[in-house]
Structures are given as structure tokens and as C-alpha cells.
Amino acid sequence: MSTNNNSSTRQRVIFAGTPEFAAISLKALIEQQNELNIEIVAVYTQPDRKAGRGQKLTASPVKQLALEHNLPVEQPLTFKKSVEEGLAARETLANYKPDVMVVAAYGLILPMGVLETPTYGCLNIHASLLPRWRGAAPIHRALLAGDAQTGITIMQMDKGLDTGDMLYKASYDIAADETTESLHDKMADMGADAIVEVLKDLPKYQTQAQKQDDSLATYAEKLSKAEGEIDWTQSAAHIERQIRGMHPYPGAYTFLADPEGNSEPKRVKVLAALPVNASQTTVVEPGTVISVGKNAILVACGKEDAEAEGTTLRLTKLQFAGSKPVTAEQVCHGSQLDDGDKFVAAPE
């Protein structure tokens, strides 16, 4: 893009996004409009949704930020040309005469007619190193898979699901204690830096664009709450990644069996665990609470492989049904959990 700061030659940018991840990039673009020689002419976001205990209609983080800066906000339900509302949305978009559209976690499918409307097309800020983890939940999936590295890709959008040519990539080494929450925040900041870098000279990056190798593609499907249930026959390493990858949403959980067998197992959220101690093994049945200590609650898990002994995991933070989160030390001083108790599968 031009680096001339004459306002008459400013590139007209539309931003499309919904959650906090996208708002971080929008904020960076708002703050650097002069340096980038751009004008944000409109912001597109999902319609307001009911949220919170009161189920009040709530504007998305992107909309809230746009309104704070007096930017026009559009919230179409669809861009499908087969319906009147979709046609109207396309016409409105075209009337903004955009040079480029920046998309980050928007949540609405953009047909080719929309992708081709801006002069320079549509750029997507994607939280993975494409072609790995195309799709809705790349941050979760990278952690769950135990990836050592992830990052941000700025991609030229096409009709496929995150299949477009790559303009820019920035990598990040995943820390051993990374959760989805902490990694999300790092990716949001990196995404903002990346899109700013690309918009400094978009024609150059588009000229140097690289095609994705489809044979290396993996897909990051949206998570379901059911994926949060812990299977204690899995290895401690697998379960520890699950706890981090599910935090804060949808959350990892298990069920505590009644030692007397008089009532149904009760749901327990597992909020945090320590890194796996590979030297600590056990022959105790998976799901058994080996010890309740001040620093951690030691639980038996499954084997790494057929030849190995069972593994163990040290839980540090739990939340019992109807109660607030508690640390291992609080559990140790309480009566919710004892040595020999058993975590089990969901009751049928």
C-alpha cells in the first residue's frame, strides 16, 4: 500500500471481526491509521447476542470498540445473494468502495462475490501456521495436539476454508504451561502486529504470496463440551494437555464416585495441573486418587504405551459442583476428597 500520508490517497479499509481476538487487531489499525495511510471506513461484526446471567443483548468486543471510535458498524445476517438481505448487504459493502477488507474471527461465511469486492481482496488473520490447523479452533487444537510451535498467518482469502495464499507468517514457541487463555492473548497481539506489517506494503506481500501445501493440511474443528471429559485411561501427558487446551472454555471435567455407592458420581471441573513427572509411575487403576497433598492431588492415569507402567498427574486446582474453585491445599484441609477416592466416567 502507498506510504504517502496525503489523506486523499488513503487506502479504504473495512474490518470484519467479532471477539476480543479480532478487537486487538482493530485497535492496532485504528491507532496506526496515519502511519499506515489507511482509513477504516466501516466495521463488520456479528449481530448482538444474548449474554450473561441476565441474557441481555450484548454487542461484540469489536462493535464496542468501533462505537468508541465513531466508526460505522454493519451487522448483516448473511451475504448470500439468494436472499434479499444478502443482496442488500453486498450492495452496502460495495458502496463503501473498499480497497481491502481485513477479517479476523468474523464468524460469517464470505462468498466469492464479497471476497472480490475490495480492490486488494480480503485478508484473514489466522491463529496458526497454515496449512496446519485450518478452521475454527486452531489455538485449542495446537495445545491439545502437543504442538511445540504455532503462530499467525496472514492469508489472502479464497472460496476454501483457510486455503488461500499465505502473505506473512510469524511463529511462536508454545510454553510448557501454556493454556488456551494465555496462548489466545499472545496470538491476538501477534495477529495485530502481523496485519500492521502487511498493510505497510500490501502489494509487495501479495506479489510474494505462497500457496499452501494441501497435503500438509490439518483441520481445527470447533470444540464440543463433551471433549472436556477426562478419560483417565489416557496418559498423564495427554490429560495434562487436555486441561490446558480446554482452559477456560469449554473446560476439562471428570466425575467423583461416591465411595459408599449411595449416590450418582458428582461432576468436578479440573482447572489446573502441574507438568507431568515422567519418573513417577503407578500400577493403581486409572482415576484413583493416590494422595491428597498440600501442593498437589496425585491421580493415577493410563500408560504411555503397552510396555510402560501407568502414569500419574498432579492436580492443583479443582471446582466441585456448586462450589468455588479450590487449590490442592484447600482440598487437603477440607473433606471433599480423600486418598483412594475414584474419578470415573460420566454416569449413563
pLDDT in tens, 51-62: 888 889 999 999
Pair 180, 187: CB distance under 8 Å? no
- Whether residue 34 is predicted with pLDDT greater than 90 in this model: the reply is yes
Per CATH, the homologous superfamily of domain 7-220 is: Formyl transferase, N-terminal domain (3.40.50.170)
The fold for domain 225-344 equals Methionyl-tRNA Fmet Formyltransferase; Chain A, domain 2 (3.10.25)
Ligand-binding site membership of 271 (annotated):
no
Gap between the Cα atoms of 76 and 90, Å rounded: 9
Ligand-binding site membership of 130 (annotated):
yes
What's the rounded mean pLDDT across residues 263-288?
95
- Look at residues 131, 128, 125 and name the one whose alpha carbon lies nearest to residue 139: 128
- Whether residue 1 is predicted with pLDDT greater than 80 in this model: the reply is no
pLDDT score recorded for residue 348: 80
Ligand-binding site membership of 131 (annotated):
yes
**Nearest 5°: phi and psi at 301?**
-125, 180
- For the chain, give the percent of residues with pLDDT over 90: 91
In the chain, domain spans = 7-220, 225-344
pLDDT band of residue 106 (cuts 50, 70, 90) is very high
Report pTM: 0.93
Gap between the Cα atoms of 205 and 185, Å rounded: 25
pLDDT score recorded for residue 8: 57
- Whether residue 225 is predicted with pLDDT greater than 60 in this model: the reply is yes
What's the rounded mean pLDDT across residues 286-313?
95
Gap between the Cα atoms of 186 and 151, Å rounded: 9
Q: Regarding beta strands 326-327 and 310-320, do their DSSP bridges make them parallel or antiparallel, or are they unpaired?
A: antiparallel
> Mean pLDDT across the chain, nearest whole number?
95
Instruction: Classify residue 178 by its DSSP letter.
Output: -
What's the rounded mean pLDDT across residues 113-136?
98
Which amino acid type is present at position 70? N
Ligand-binding site membership of 128 (annotated):
yes
